[in-house]
A and B are shown apart, each in its own frame.
Chain A
Amino acid sequence: MKNWRILPTGLGIGFMLMILLLFLIAINFSNNLIFTLSFFLSAAFLLSVWFCVRNLSHIEVLNIRVKPVHCGEKLHYQISVKELAGSDHLYLQVMGGSQFYHLDAGEERIWQVDIETDRRGPYNARPLVISCIWPLGLFVVKRSIGSLPEVLVYPAAESILDIKEVQLGREAHSQSEAEELDGLREYQAGDNIKRIDWRAMARRQQLQVKHFDGADGDPSLWLEWQATQGMDYEQRIGCLCHWVLECQQSGREFGLRLPDIEIKPQRNGQHAQLCLSELAVMPEESRL
């Protein structure tokens, strides 16, 4: 039972006081009926623990998923739970939040639990605590039912500066297959006229442009720690984070240079996540 905590609520303490007063009234008037009432309510008081415990029992956490977010956003835990005993479980609270979760008999369900974040970096695994005061609200019973997995919180993006384009010549990754003909596609206003395939036009009577692989990508960039000089430590991280996101959105190839780490330019989603992770685990300023 070390995973369980049972505490009376404020109402529970009030209820106890009320029972005490009833008891005194009963003694004073030597009235067995009031004794009965006070014992009945005491019994209900004790039983409410039982009901709470049952409400929290026979629930199994199947798995917990969470995606990294940026600091200041909420962590969205997806907790899939299963009811095992064939009875309903009502008014459960997860991690002390104010939202209620319910679970019907035999049901399998995914609870969405949002938890605030206030700093970047790894959030360690912690016990997943569910609690309830249902049905009478006299006790709050808490049960640790599993553990929330460790999750990385990326720094909050701060758009302080526009991206400083750092071209380092040779080191910038060249688009290897930019010259390769990828195919033809219909002409759209704004396409480079030089790329129109005139022969295809002669054949099909319609404008088509040659499409080269990688041809419309911008040159790759270095996002550098040095470029953010003059800002606070955390601001610099936030700024770099913003740049990474911007590059990812515009599909540009970029690399990241931090004081001790260099990540070579690439362009896929995983690359951006790697860069964000590195920013997230940057040591705190005080530890430098």
Chain B
Amino acid sequence: MNRFFSSRAQGISLFLLLLSILPSIGLLPTLLLPVLLLLVVLHNQVRSRSGLRWITLAIVLVLAVGLIHYSAARWLSAEAIITILISVLLLKWVESDSDREYRIVTLASVLIAALSSLYLPSLPALAYLLLIGFLTLACLLLINDSERKLNVAGLAKKSVAISLMALPITIVLFITMPRVQGPLWDLGIAIGLPIELAIDQDARDIGLKGTLKAGQVSRLKKSDAPVLVAEFSGTVPYKSRMYWRGPVFSDYDGTVWSLPQNWDKRSNLLKGAYRGRDAVDETLTSKRDRVHYEARVSPHAGHWLYSLDMPSGQTPEALISKDMQLLGIRKISWEFKYDIYAWLEYTGGRRPSAKAFSAYLSFPEGTNPRLKAFGEALLIDHDNPRERIDAFYTHLASSDYKMTLTSDIEEGMYSLDRYFFDDKAGTIEHLASSTAMVLRAAGIPTRLITGYRGGSLIALTDFVIVKQEHAHVWVEAWTDDKGWQRIEAKDLVVPPERKNLSTQTVSQKQAAKPVMPKSSNSAVNAESPKPVEQKQQVKAEQSKSTNTSGWGWLKKLSSGMETWVLNYNPDRQVELLKKSGLRKVDWKNLLGISVIGLLSLACVYALFLQVRQSKIDPVSRAFQRLNKRFDKLQLACGDHECPSEWLVRVKAAEPELYPVLRQIIECYCAIRFEGQDSSENRERFVKDVKRLVAMI
């Protein structure tokens, strides 16, 4: 009877393969899995007849393709790709009969396992991947062990030895290897691939529009379609300081902010526009932190170029409007490229006309009376507009407002009242609109600005990708002394460093997301923030477990892991290395540190290489010691000299040492040559040698 596996290599490569597909087994069409497993079970029969072999394999492959076709999955979806990969690999295993092929199957299994691990929660995924890594080594080892020199224990020991020795290198690489933030698509864009390719067709008309209602920006936040890519010359500003200026609103009817009719007529656009290189700069009352960047804007339906606040200078085919936003002269229906300067901190601007002034101060009649009253109270309490703004800030900071992505607040004339005084939880539009209205009621002209804040920095480069998810709304207020100035209410409500991590927002975000990636592209994008989400789950579980049992160490372990493994990202890497004294962190430095780390480890390992395991017996060691001592007297016992002859030599040269040495050598000869190798003699010998060495 044939054994099931013809070799150990065959067995372990199948084991690794099955283990690697285990997490994603749910993706396979239901019918396919039993067929594949049946084929694996019958592999000996299939293999034995070459005709049958190829026909069977072909049939199964066709079956797999057919099943995918008839299942709901789309082509190029993650399910389809993984299904095909798994089927091909299992069939390859069935067909393989050489060590070389098993090695290939092993390597491919690792890739499948890596993809599969995405479907596991983080802690099990880590354990799973480490197990896969370990098994990969064991598998290669076993395939190489063609003459069965090692038993299972020996193999395990060797694999563990390799794994343990690999750990320091892994840690060094993990910490210092230059990290690039995914997804790869961002990299592609940074390199110069057209932005359109990254935008789903159905997401094309998403974007900021000429009107703004509550919830609109929040919806944008669910999309990661890129808006623009900016390459900075020099340092990239902090994310929180980057405001990409989009539509500027002044008209509010209580629910909807809107732009004036025909605002985008060419004549309207040009009216009041800032002309000339220094036009904007001349109107600014204060300006700080000038940066230069080059941007590529993805096509959309409007004129907005989303320049960084506050644009300064000129760029062809674009103008800076009276609202100080950079607009394309034509609609941006193809990818638009510009380079321009910007002031990250600014106040000032041209004083608006009286008509415009009234628009900036208008509070729609019959809406949100409490808000109006609140603003008027500020006006009474404080003479100085500056003080009024500060008082408002104080209110925001001291009251417990919350940010959500969706809101239950009904649209209506009193919705801002309800948000500001009752629910204290709402979307960014609620917050920004409230801010604008309160300040208007307090006699301060305000306008609402929509756009984007922040962006994804592509690690270790000067590229920033701004995506729909960065959409933001903020307010500008006019004071006579300073001119226009930015009012950022959000930073007072949500401290900047915590703003994306509030449990509520995230869980909603997760709920809103499809559970399985839809297409390969969106799979790439959808999975990217996963560690963050999982961290939340872990956190939740942790807080539960600490209440119920004393698993403190586990908590520590997992929170340590959370910080240093799961959430170790390019920012943290840069931060860590800056803390450890590196002034400038870029990919060259990081790579240098990696190489230095690896080289120093290599030196340590090279030293290990010299270690020999031989144990020197104490008698020999004592004898060597004695000999070393006599070597200084030029009387060492030669390698090929019998100790007794040596004694004769010493007798002639150093007669006073002779009696003691004779005793020692007699003892030595007794141990070595007269069968009196007792522990007593050994001890005596070692002791005598010590004494003599001390004596000389």
Contacts and interface: CB of A to CB of B under 8 A. Distances in A.
Interface in A27-72: 27-44, 46-48, 50-51, 53-54, 57-58
Contacts of A91: 144-145, 147, 149
What class of interface size applies to chain B in its complex with A?
Answer: 35 or more
A143 B611 CA distance: 19
Of the candidates A30, A38, A136, the one having the most CB atoms from chain B within 10 angstroms of its own CB is A30
A44 B114 contact: no
A48 B141 CA distance: 11
B114 A25 contact: yes
A33 B605 contact: no
B531 A30 contact: yes
B184 A32 contact: no
B454 to A, nearest CB: 17
A18 B113 CA distance: 12
Contacts of A54: 609
Contact of A47 (B140, B147, B165, B531): B165
B613 A44 contact: no
A133 interface: yes
Interface in A1-41: 11, 14-15, 18, 21-22, 24-41
Given A44-B133, A54-B609, A135-B141, A31 B531 contact: yes
B466 to A, nearest CB: 18
A204 B524 CA distance: 110
B166 A14 contact: no
Contact of A29 (B103, B140, B167, B183): B183
Given A22-B110, A50-B605, A33 B165 contact: no
Given A34-B114, A44-B163, A47-B165, A29 B524 contact: yes
A264 to B, nearest CB: 45
A15 B612 CA distance: 31
B103 A90 contact: no
Interface in B564-594: 565-569
Given A29-B527, A136-B141, A137-B140, A14 B107 contact: yes
Given A28-B183, A91-B149, A136-B162, A37 B133 contact: yes
A24 B185 CA distance: 11
Interface string A91-116: 10000000010100110000000000
Given A43-B166, A134-B144, A137-B103, A29 B528 contact: yes
B129 A37 contact: yes
Contacts of B107: 11, 14-15, 18
Interface in B111-150: 111, 114-115, 117-118, 122, 125-126, 129-130, 132-133, 136-137, 140-141, 143-147, 149-150
A206 to B, nearest CB: 57
Contacts of A43: 166-170, 173
Given A32-B568, A34-B129, A86-B613, A47 B169 contact: yes
A85 interface: yes
B209 interface: no
Contacts of B173: 39, 42-43
Contacts of A48: 162
Contact of B125 (A18, A22, A33): A33
| Majority DSSP secondary structure for residues of A touching B | helix
B575 to A, nearest CB: 15
B524 A28 contact: yes
Given A40-B166, A135-B158, A30 B182 contact: yes
B669 interface: no
Given A50-B165, A50-B609, A31 B118 contact: yes
B675 to A, nearest CB: 24
Where chain B touches its partner, the secondary structure class is helix
B137 A29 contact: no
A167 interface: no
B374 interface: no
B598 interface: yes
Contacts of B150: 90
Contacts of A40: 130, 133, 163, 166-167, 170
A14 B107 CA distance: 8
Contacts of A42: 169-170, 173
Given A41-B136, A136-B137, A30 B528 contact: yes
A54 B136 CA distance: 21
A51 B122 CA distance: 32
Interface in B504-533: 524, 527-531
Nearest to A54: B609
Given A43-B170, A135-B162, A29 B530 contact: yes
B465 to A, nearest CB: 13
A11 B108 CA distance: 12
Interface string B521-557: 0001001111100000000000000000000000000
B140 A136 contact: yes
A174 interface: no
Interface in A164-216: none
Nearest to B110: A18
Contact of A22 (B114, B137, B162, B167): B114
A212 B108 CA distance: 82
A148 interface: no
Interface in A135-156: 135-138
Contact of A32 (B118, B169, B567, B611): B567
Nearest to A45: B166
A268 interface: no
Contacts of A129: none
B117 A33 contact: yes
A33 B166 contact: no
Contacts of A50: 165, 605, 609
B117 A34 contact: yes
Contacts of A100: 146-147
A44 B174 contact: no
A58 B179 CA distance: 40
Given A39-B173, A86-B614, A135-B158, 17 more contacts: A11-B103, A14-B107, A18-B111, A21-B111, A25-B111, A31-B527, A31-B530, A32-B568, A34-B117, A38-B114, A43-B173, A48-B162, A51-B162, A87-B613, A90-B145, A90-B150, A135-B140
11 contacts: A11-B100, A27-B180, A32-B567, A33-B126, A37-B133, A40-B163, A40-B166, A43-B167, A43-B169, A44-B166, A86-B613
The 5 A-B pairs of least Cβ separation, nearest first, read A86-B613, A43-B169, A43-B166, A39-B173, A85-B612
Interface of A: 11, 14-15, 18, 21-22, 24-44, 46-48, 50-51, 53-54, 57-58, 84-87, 90-91, 100, 102, 105-106, 133-138
